Amino acid sequence: MKLLVANWKMNLTVHQTLDWCQNYLELFKEIDHKLIICPSYPALTAVSQLIKDTDIALCGQSCSEHRNGSYTGQVDAQSLAQVGCSYVLVGHSEERNAFNLTNEQVAQKALRVLEAGMIPIICIGEPETVYQAGKTQEYLEEQLFDIKRAFNGAPAYIAYEPIWAIGTSKIPTNEELIKIVNNLKLFIQGCAFLYGGSVNAETITQLNQIKDFCGYLVGNASLDGHELKKMMELP
């Protein structure tokens, strides 16, 4: 059973999110895959109520590295757990770039998620310059160094999402992906691996050939419920 994480980013308003749920939730009730949805913060409480009798899980799009305090505009992990989240994305490339997050800050966010009783989905990925230079592995291990040191086997997902693949319809070759995952499994143990970056109904057919990916982080393609259902039905 594959895991699909639908990251809606800031594409849907609260009303549009509720419309999505009303229009599409019925499609996923009998599909043999696990679906996790990541609405915006203001929609989390309402969506939690809509999915409470389903197998669909709720995920926050990020959280603060701080437990509490004078951090205007940030959201603490405990609050996400209290509104029904079971997972939280941390370190997505868009957030890393927008807020100049350090790898240490990402590790702290992931620890706050664990403390709150949820599972972190830790995003890593290299820019195209690093990929072209053949230094992907070193870059990814650097991103995970603080995670490896702090986690000590705690449950977590690692979402490999090459920055150059996001929204481009380009993905690495299967040979490249198999090598990356095998090396990461040696570097950090106890984590399950997802792939993200231009995941859609076309690319997922290739990606499904890679057994070490337990699922996918899906961006824009997840906004269309029928497209998402199609991805979940592919072998």
Domain ranges of the chain: 3-233
Q: Is the dihedral of CA 26, 28, 30, 34 positive or negative?
A: negative
Give me the pLDDT at residue 21, please: 96
pLDDT band at 153; cut points 50, 70, 90: confident
Q: pLDDT, tens digit, for every residue of 25-45?
A: 998 877 778 999 999 999 999
Instruction: Pick one of 3.40.50.300, 3.30.300.30, 3.20.20.70, 3.30.830.10 as the CATH number of 3-233.
Output: 3.20.20.70
Residue 189's nearest CA partner among 159, 215, 156, 223 is 156
Q: In the predicted model, what is the mean pLDDT of the chain?
A: 94
Give me the pLDDT at residue 103, please: 97
Give me the pLDDT at residue 169, please: 84
Kindly tell me if the per-residue pLDDT of 234 is higher than 90.
no
Give me the pLDDT at residue 32, please: 73
Q: Which residues are catalytic?
A: 92, 161
Q: pLDDT, tens digit, for every residue of 88-104?
A: 999 999 999 999 999 99
Percentage of the residues of the chain whose pLDDT score is greater than 70: 100
Rounded CA gap, 166 and 132, in Å? Answer: 16
Angle at 184 between CA 183 and CA 188, to 5 degrees: 125
What's the number of CA atoms in the CB half-sphere (13 Å) around residue 178? 8
List the beta strands (DSSP E) in the chain: 3-7, 34-38, 57-60, 87-90, 119-124, 157-160, 192-196, 213-218
